[in-house]
Amino acid sequence: MVDVFLDKRLDDYFCAHEWTAVSSSDVARDAVIDDYLNERIAVLHGLDTDRIDFKFLETVRFPQTWGMKKFQFKDLLMVARAGKRGGLYAQVLNDSFAGDEGRFEYFLGQLEIIESIADRVLDRLLGGLKVGTKIMVTRFSETRMENLHYDIDQDSDDHEAFRLYVNLDAYPRIWSTSYTMTNLFRKGGERLLGGIDPNEKSEIILKRAIGRAYGGWNQRATERRAPRHQIYFDPGDVWIVDGRSVSHQVLSGHRVLSIYAKIPHAENPGLRPTFSEKIRGAFAEGLKVPVGQETAEVNYFPPAAITSAPNLREEWAEVFGQTRSGRIRRFDDNGMVSA
């Protein structure tokens, strides 16, 4: 079950779909894809996840590093199936299971179950499309204090970015979501978009608008002006969203399956509207709203107030891994003020 606490200042863009219908009806399957293309969050009910041992997975904790945050579990299954016991196999066995072969072998079995579920869902949802890159990531480390953001994908003008999530934790995964990209641009107007080159790549336009609306690294998790829906995804819940089109942040979560599929426009011309069409159309409309008439409730940070993120690959453990200080940490709109 997904609990959504709605903010009336935002559109209700949550849609429910039944797996029994999606798995057997092309019309029901196409409705999920339509939601994804039109800035909605599609929740998939009824997918059989009974074989996933959520209580066991609750005990699995990976090191708080960038590599483990983006852990492509098929790589581990590949080396395990090939009988290789060094490298990645030994790393996960020792770092996350303290050398316990029994627990580690059971974990590999759970990954195979997760893989089979993911393959079945993707084969059905994307079976009629020509898919390029496909990445499956499992996270077994804590996420908290994310900033409100849109996903940034390189070369966004030439493809759609399909993202699907399954909560693998024994507890709810908590998200906040805010404006869809097109609503933010149309309501933010010239104050938000003025000075941004309309001929830039879509991801550059989006990145610059994000900073002005929600801030940069120094406003991480402290920006509070934007309206937000709050969502609780229960264990086994499945949801699909184009993260480039719906702003979101993880408030709390420890274990999740994250699937990304790159769907090239050139090989799927019927997949419309494209992300490029949406962002450029909304950009043009937004520029018609003069300064002073914007209605998006965001911060409109000036460029000088926005700082870029550090090197997350190198500093992830320090940034997110040392959050349990045993003290009260105080934050205001400018970031942490005391600990």
Domain annotation covers residue 259 = yes
Domain-embedded: residue 3: no
Q: What is the pLDDT of residue 70?
A: 80
Rounded to whole angstroms, how far apart are CA atoms 132 and 240? 18
Of 159, 163, 186, 155, which is closest to residue 279 (Cα–Cα)?
Answer: 186
Q: What is the pLDDT of residue 339?
A: 60
What CATH number does the domain containing 39 carry?
Answer: 2.60.120
pTM over 0.85, yes/no: yes
Position 67 scores a pLDDT of 74
Cβ atoms of residues 240 and 17 within 8 Å: no
Q: Which residue is associated with the tokens 């039109």?
A: 38
Residue identified by tokens 């942040």 is 249
E strand intervals along 241-321: 246-253, 256-264
Question: Is there a domain that residue 116 lies in?
Answer: yes
Residue 69: per-residue pLDDT: 75
Q: Is residue 149 part of a domain?
A: yes
Location of structure tokens 């316990």: 100
Residue 325 is assigned to a structural domain of this protein = no
Query: What pLDDT digit, counting tens, does each position of 280-333 carry?
Result: 999 999 999 999 999 999 999 888 887 766 666 666 666 654 555 667 777 676
Give the angle 225-228-231 at the CA atoms, nearest 5°: 150
Looking at the structure of the chain, the number of domains it has is 1
Q: What is the pLDDT of residues 50-106, one digit of tens each?
A: 999 999 999 999 988 777 778 899 999 999 999 988 899 999 999 999 999 999 999
Neighbours of 208 (CB within 10 A): 18
Q: Which residue has the higher pLDDT, 222 or 33?
A: 33
Residue 339 lies in a domain: no
The pLDDT-based confidence of 221 (bands split at 50, 70, 90) is low
Cis peptide before 227 (omega within 30 of 0): no
Domain interval for residue 123: 13-318
What is the pLDDT, as a whole number, of residue 266?
A: 94
Residue 248 in tokens: 């979101």
